[in-house]
């Protein structure tokens, strides 16, 4: 895909503002470029226009150059800039390093430094500094960064290690959902990271063909492949197709012909996923499984063998693990530190069991792999502790694989009331699932499907995740535990009162029986005050200049004035206070709570939401453009809880980002109401 760089965009924008021919010399002088640079960049601009069916650059040897049909070009350029604006060419340190790493890992040839300069818009010195960091990263992966003078750089090491690291790094840099959306939704991307990777690292035609072949491979394997292995398969198949454009999956399996290096890698991965192994190896992994299960069973007094599904899944995992380790494929557990911290005893017990059973294997099992086995045990222990009750239907959409999905499942099952639960890879999820489940719990954003049913969590549930889930699911045992604690406190109080001089044992006994026989006392929950706020109380505006914060404030205040909820004096007070005292109303990066006193002109308790996708600057301490403004007008004394909840929402960076990116007022309203009245 032809892609314009920052300097080329600048030249094209300049030409679109010219009414007549202009010479290369005049362009170079206006834009502070050399004539050679102008001529070179204009070649790519012309290719871009031709690619978009716009062969409308007119050249004249004496008069220079001119763009015809300017309105049509401007429209094409506007669409192009949706994902490739000048601002979006500024990449973070992580984005730059990961892109360079990914490019080197997948490249078939030496990559010159100039290629990174052109794509990332950074200097040669910056590229070399990033390469030094990448060299250290590769050392820990047993890979080497090789420099060839005047040519460039490449990574030396086994292809399977390079592609495995590529898969891990890719999934850390971009939302894996975007890869699938890109392939099935007309090359649509949602982030600059995905745009950078997909248009510069892979050849789109080969990737499309690889996707079709991977679908056939998944059918052959006979089970759903987790996302990490699926991406690894995509990369290897894409490499095979690049070598032989006529290649199809079936002939490799059926004909047994001489295989290329990439074809051999593919068959190894298929065997890994499918769980094929020789009889002797199969017997050894079975003995390994039986010994570690027996060890953990004795330690935790749990009969794991009673659950055939658990034993089958763990056996399949161990088969895959042995093949991975044998092939030197390193898999990192994304929740390793959290899990080991929370389940230290179980992890150490599993590690001891694995070390005792390693005699059946020809390799040593590392801590990362042991932690995955521990997760299976932890999930089954929790499952057996759970009560079977009818609860909400939940689908867990997880990119990290079966073990992490199971861990999330058992964490939720321990804490919340729910019944049917299933897991699904990200690429298999679609809108129809919204009709079949009460909630979709996902570890990644799903930008192409918007619904209040979709609940985003971390791959290891943390406090903020539990708070999100608590808004939608009933807590398990929480009331019972509180009830027992209240009874315990009453019992201790009664004993203390009778301990000083126990003269009537019957009275003490009667008091204790009375406490224990009491039903649960429910304290009525205090309702958070309702205010004037609905789906029409939300405005999105992209037209406000970045230096006119006062106009941004007036979007909300003028709307409240129009609806007769505040007086003009309330708006004036907000503006006056900001000019007098500075941007103290900015409570979080990019978020402002605009307000004045209840005596300054509040007619009715009300709120307005203003979303500014382009942002406005007010020189606050966070130095981030303001994109979200809560305009509050409260006069009732019992709105303190509501203000507190709004402040919590403003401080929740993830929810703020979600609010800004939501498309419809209904979605924005639902999210705000669910949060501030939770």
Q: Within a 10 A sphere around the Cβ of 2, how many other Cβ atoms? A: 14
In the structure encoding, which two tokens stand for residue 529, read together?
């005050």
98 burial type by CB count under 10 A (0-12 exposed, 13-18 middle, 19+ buried): buried
The whole-angstrom separation of Cα 66 and Cα 323 is: 62
In the structure encoding, which two tokens stand for residue 50, read together?
């031709």
Residue 389: per-residue pLDDT = 46
Q: How is 315-365 classified by DSSP, letter by letter? A: HHHHHHHHHHHHTT-----TTHHHHHHHTHHHHHHHHHHHHHHGGGSSSPP
User: By the 8 A CB rule, do 48 and 41 touch?
Assistant: no
The beta-strand segments (E) located in 478-553 are 538-540
Residue 112: per-residue pLDDT = 94
Residue 463: per-residue pLDDT = 77
Residue 625: per-residue pLDDT = 93
Residue 538: per-residue pLDDT = 95
Report residues of the chain scoring pLDDT below 50.
1-2, 85-86, 88, 254-255, 276-279, 387-390, 477-485, 487-488, 492, 495-496, 499-503, 505, 519-525
Nearest by Cα to 552 from 590, 502, 501 = 590
Q: Is pTM beyond 0.75 here?
A: no
Tens of pLDDT, residue by residue over 456-512, are 887 667 778 888 887 777 766 443 444 444 544 555 455 445 544 444 545 555 555
Tens of pLDDT, residue by residue over 512-555, are 555 555 544 444 445 667 899 999 999 999 999 988 999 999 99
Residue 524: per-residue pLDDT = 46
């Amino acid at each position: 895909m032809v892609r314009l760089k920052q300097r080329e965009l600048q030249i094209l924008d300049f030409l679109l503002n010219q009414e007549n021919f202009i010479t290369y010399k005049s362009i170079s002088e206006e834009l502070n470029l050399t004539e050679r640079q102008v001529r070179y960049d204009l070649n790519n601009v012309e290719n871009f226009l031709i690619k978009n069916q716009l062969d409308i650059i007119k050249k004249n040897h004496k008069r220079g150059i001119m763009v015809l049909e300017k309105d049509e070009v401007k429209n094409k350029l506007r669409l192009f800039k949706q994902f490739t604006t000048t601002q979006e060419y500024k990449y973070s340190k992580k984005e730059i390093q990961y892109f360079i790493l990914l490019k080197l890992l997948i490249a078939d040839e030496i990559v010159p430094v100039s290629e990174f300069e052109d794509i990332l818009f950074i200097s040669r010195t910056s590229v070399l500094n990033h390469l030094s960091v990448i060299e250290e990263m590769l050392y820990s992966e047993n890979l080497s960064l090789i420099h060839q003078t005047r040519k460039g750089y490449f990574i030396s090491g086994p292809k399977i290690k390079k592609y495995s690291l590529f898969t891990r790094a890719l999934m850390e840099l971009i939302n894996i959902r975007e890869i699938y959306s890109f392939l099935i939704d007309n090359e649509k991307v949602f982030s600059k990271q995905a745009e950078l990777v997909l248009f510069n690292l892979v050849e789109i035609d080969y990737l499309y063909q690889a996707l079709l072949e991977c679908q056939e491979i998944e059918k052959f394997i006979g089970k759903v492949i987790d996302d990490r292995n699926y991406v690894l398969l995509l990369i290897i198949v894409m490499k095979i197709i690049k070598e032989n454009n006529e290649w199809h999956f079936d002939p490799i399996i059926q004909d047994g012909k001489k295989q290329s290096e990439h074809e051999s890698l593919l068959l190894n991965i298929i065997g890994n996923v499918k769980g094929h192994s020789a009889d002797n190896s199969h017997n050894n992994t079975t003995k390994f499984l039986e010994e570690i299960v027996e060890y953990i069973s004795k330690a935790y007094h749990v009969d794991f063998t009673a659950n055939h599904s658990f034993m089958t899944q763990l056996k399949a995992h161990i088969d895959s693990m042995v093949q991975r380790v044998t092939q030197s494929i390193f898999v990192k557990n994304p929740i390793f530190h959290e899990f080991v911290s929370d389940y230290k005893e179980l992890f150490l017990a599993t590690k001891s069991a694995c070390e005792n059973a390693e005699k059946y294997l020809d390799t040593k099992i590392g801590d990362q792999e042991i932690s995955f086995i521990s997760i299976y045990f932890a999930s089954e222990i929790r499952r057996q502790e759970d009560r079977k009750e009818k609860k909400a239907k939940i689908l867990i959409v997880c990119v990290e694989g079966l073990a992490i999905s199971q861990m999330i499942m058992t964490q939720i099952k321990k804490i919340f009331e729910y019944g049917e639960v299933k897991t699904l890879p990200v690429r298999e999820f679609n809108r129809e699932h919204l009709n079949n489940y009460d909630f979709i719990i996902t570890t990644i954003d799903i930008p192409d499907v918007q619904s209040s049913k979709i609940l985003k969590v971390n791959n290891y549930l943390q406090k903020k995740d539990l708070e999100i889930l608590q808004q939608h699911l009933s807590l398990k045992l929480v009331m019972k535990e509180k009830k027992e604690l209240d009874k315990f406190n009453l019992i201790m109080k009664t004993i203390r009162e009778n301990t000083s001089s126990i003269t009537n044992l019957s009275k003490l006994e009667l008091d204790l029986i009375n406490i224990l026989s009491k039903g649960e006392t429910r304290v009525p929950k205090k309702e958070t005050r309702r205010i004037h706020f609905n789906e029409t109380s939300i405005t999105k505006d992209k037209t406000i200049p970045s230096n006119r914060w006062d106009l941004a404030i007036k979007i909300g205040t003028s709307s409240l004035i129009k609806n007769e909820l505040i007086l003009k004096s309330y708006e004036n007070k907000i503006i006056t206070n900001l000019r007098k005292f500075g941007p103290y109303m900015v409570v979080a990066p990019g978020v402002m709570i605009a307000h004045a006193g209840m005596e300054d002109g509040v007619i009715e308790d009300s709120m307005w939401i203003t979303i500014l996708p382009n942002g406005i600057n007010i020189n606050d301490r966070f130095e981030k453009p303001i994109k979200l403004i809560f305009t509050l007008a409260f006069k009732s004394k019992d709105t303190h809880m509501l203000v507190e909840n709004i402040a919590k929402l403003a401080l929740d960076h993830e929810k703020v980002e979600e609010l800004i990116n939501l498309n419809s007022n209904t979605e924005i309203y639902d999210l705000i109401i669910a949060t501030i009245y939770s």
